């Protein structure tokens, strides 16, 4: 698979200025295509009284999205598409039970394209990763906003194409990064903004989730997630951990991510699991898997701060996103949640103190929307809060919480880490997806 096209890998910089920055090592630059339309910073689209939604992909995630969106005032699912007729019928029944009769798009890999001709305001995409970009591009091209499950896309070309299309059509393209709406993450962000942890210098983010059983089952449509592990080596799922850390650090507000180095350990986990489960002569055991068991990247920001970003889905492990952020006055760490602050920096604060701080810094959105969000549910209400905000912002003609630039930046750690891994951990430049429109 081409991760970064020739067009976008321009130079290996060894000039004096770059060498100074990197201590003499090389940095691979990834060029930004030229902007042809105004940036989408703070963009407000015309308000929409009732948001008509077309949802593509009715699997694990799509089914939950339907249930949530049906309960949000001002949202109306008027079209659905999937390859699987049973899933379509089930979702149709669920939606119809609420007196709403969506149009069904079915009959092959490209049946969803016909949906783009229907009068819709928003296309909500819950399909496998490789399909996200094509679907979101087509949605915006046909005048609809796009909300896309994580990650936004898997190649740099696609990420740039999505930004270009959003800027050209003035349609929103938002990554559905639900972790940014979690109660704890939102409170920690406010602690960071208030300076509780002092000057921030380092964050740790991850997606650590033992997916071996799911990858080798029919949990995912046509084994799409195992196929990703067969063909790609890097951080395949960066956004859940990175989104909140990026927000804590004020990326795109007062700092930028500028470069990444990434390395993967050898692949052992999937093969061993396959031998145990299917036997050593099975096709699964003989298959070659590109994805190293543990991928670790280090991102550096323009202000000289660092983020350690990990991906581990092929080994036995308790779930974690690390969610750690540290500064000159203290540290917050997740899994389990802990905080240590001056003047007692060498011990974790009591649970009572942590609970008090999380309450004190709680995001007002949890006060105004929290009760309903929890009733609707999904990751403790974070999924519902994300959807409620999306619908509310579209109805009010407001800017969306997560810009197309953040959506692309967080997702880009997929292809950029792959590229770095393929070059033996080389330093790869992280482009400014706003192409200079965001001034620090």
170 to 199, contacts with ligand NAD by CB under 6 A? Answer: 178
- Of 29, 91, 127, 403, the residue at the interface with ligand NAD (CB under 6 A) is 127
Helices within 170-282 (DSSP H only): 183-193, 212-215, 224-231, 239-248, 269-278
- Of 35, 43, 61, 113, the residue at the interface with ligand NAD (CB under 6 A) is 61
Please list, in sequence order, all residues whose beta carbon lies within 8 angstroms of the beta carbon of residue 394, skipping any fewer than 6 positions away: 45, 47, 48, 51, 121, 122, 145, 172, 400
DSSP code, position 178: G
Helices within 110-221 (DSSP H only): 112-115, 129-141, 156-169, 183-193, 212-215
- Of 89, 103, 113, 221, the residue at the interface with ligand NAD (CB under 6 A) is 221
Minimum distance, C-beta of residue 211 to ligand NAD, in the bound complex (Å)? 10
Minimum distance, C-beta of residue 309 to ligand NAD, in the bound complex (Å)? 17
Helix (H) or strand (E) holding 353: helix 351-360
Minimum distance, C-beta of residue 182 to ligand NAD, in the bound complex (Å)? 10
Residue 345 buriedness (CB in 10 A; 0-12 / 13-18 / 19+): exposed
Minimum distance, C-beta of residue 82 to ligand NAD, in the bound complex (Å)? 4
Dihedral sign computed on CA atoms, order 162, 165, 168, 169: negative
User: Can residue 126 be called a binding residue for ligand NAD (CB under 6 A)?
Assistant: yes
* Per-residue burial over 165-184, b = 16 or more CB atoms within 10 Å of its CB, e = otherwise: bbbebbbbbbbbbbbbbbbb
User: Can residue 210 be called a binding residue for ligand NAD (CB under 6 A)?
Assistant: no
Judged by beta carbon, residue 39 or residue 162, the one nearer ligand NAD is 162
- Of 84, 284, 398, 432, the residue at the interface with ligand NAD (CB under 6 A) is 84
| The token pair that represents 262 in the structure block | 């990434």
User: Can residue 62 be called a binding residue for ligand NAD (CB under 6 A)?
Assistant: yes
- Of 54, 128, 234, 327, the residue at the interface with ligand NAD (CB under 6 A) is 128
Size of the site for ligand NAD (CB under 6 A): 25
The backbone region for 202, taken as left when phi is positive above 0, alpha when psi lies in -120 to 50, beta otherwise, is beta
Binding mask 135-174 for ligand NAD (x = CB under 6 A): --------------xx------------------------
Span of 31-39, 126-134, 397-405, 416-424 interacting with ligand NAD by CB under 6 A: 126-134
| Contact footprint for ligand NAD (CB under 6 A) | 56-62, 81-84, 87, 109, 112, 126-129, 131, 149-150, 178, 220-221, 224
């Amino acid at each position: 698979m081409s991760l970064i096209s020739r067009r976008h890998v321009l130079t290996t910089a060894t000039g004096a200025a770059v060498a100074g920055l990197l201590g003499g090592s090389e940095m691979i630059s990834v060029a930004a295509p030229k902007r042809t339309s105004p940036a989408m910073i703070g963009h407000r689209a015309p308000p929409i009284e009732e948001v008509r939604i077309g949802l593509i992909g009715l699997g694990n995630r799509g089914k939950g999205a339907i249930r949530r969106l049906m309960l949000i005032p001002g949202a109306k699912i008027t079209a659905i598409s999937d390859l699987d007729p049973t899933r379509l019928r089930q979702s149709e029944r669920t939606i119809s039970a609420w007196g709403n009769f969506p149009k069904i798009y079915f009959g092959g890999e490209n049946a969803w394209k016909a949906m783009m001709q229907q009068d819709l305001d928003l296309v909500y995409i819950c399909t496998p990763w490789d399909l996200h970009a094509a679907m979101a591009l087509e949605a915006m091209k046909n005048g609809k906003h796009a909300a896309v499950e994580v990650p936004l896309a898997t190649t740099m070309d696609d990420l740039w194409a999505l930004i270009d299309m959003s800027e050209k059509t003035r349609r929103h393209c938002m990554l559905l990064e639900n972790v940014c709406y979690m109660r704890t993450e939102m409170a920690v962000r406010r602690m960071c903004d208030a300076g509780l942890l002092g000057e921030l210098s380092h964050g740790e983010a991850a997606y650590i989730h033992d997916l071996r059983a799911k990858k080798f089952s029919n949990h995912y449509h046509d084994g799409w997630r195992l196929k990703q592990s067969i063909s790609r080596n890097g951080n395949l799922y960066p956004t859940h951990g990175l989104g909140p850390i990026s927000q804590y650090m004020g990326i795109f507000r007062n700092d930028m991510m500028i470069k990444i180095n990434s390395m993967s350990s050898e692949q052992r986990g999937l093969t061993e699991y396959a031998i145990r489960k299917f036997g050593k002569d099975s096709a699964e055991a003989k298959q070659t898997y590109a994805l190293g068991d543990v991928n670790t990247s280090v991102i550096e920001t323009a202000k000289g701060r660092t983020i350690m970003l990990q991906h581990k889905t092929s080994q036995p492990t308790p779930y974690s996103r690390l969610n750690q952020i540290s500064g000159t006055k203290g540290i917050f760490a997740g899994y389990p949640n802990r905080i240590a602050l001056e003047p007692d920096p060498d011990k974790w604060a009591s649970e009572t103190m942590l609970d008090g701080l999380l309450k004190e810094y709680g995001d007002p959105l949890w006060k105004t929307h929290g009760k309903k969000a929890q009733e609707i549910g999904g990751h403790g209400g974070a999924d519902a809060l994300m959807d409620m905000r999306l619908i509310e912002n579209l109805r009010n003609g407001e800017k969306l919480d997560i810009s197309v630039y953040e959506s692309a930046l967080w997702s880009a750690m997929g292809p950029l880490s792959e590229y770095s891994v393929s070059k033996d951990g080389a330093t790869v430049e992280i482009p400014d997806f706003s192409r200079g429109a965001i001034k620090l």
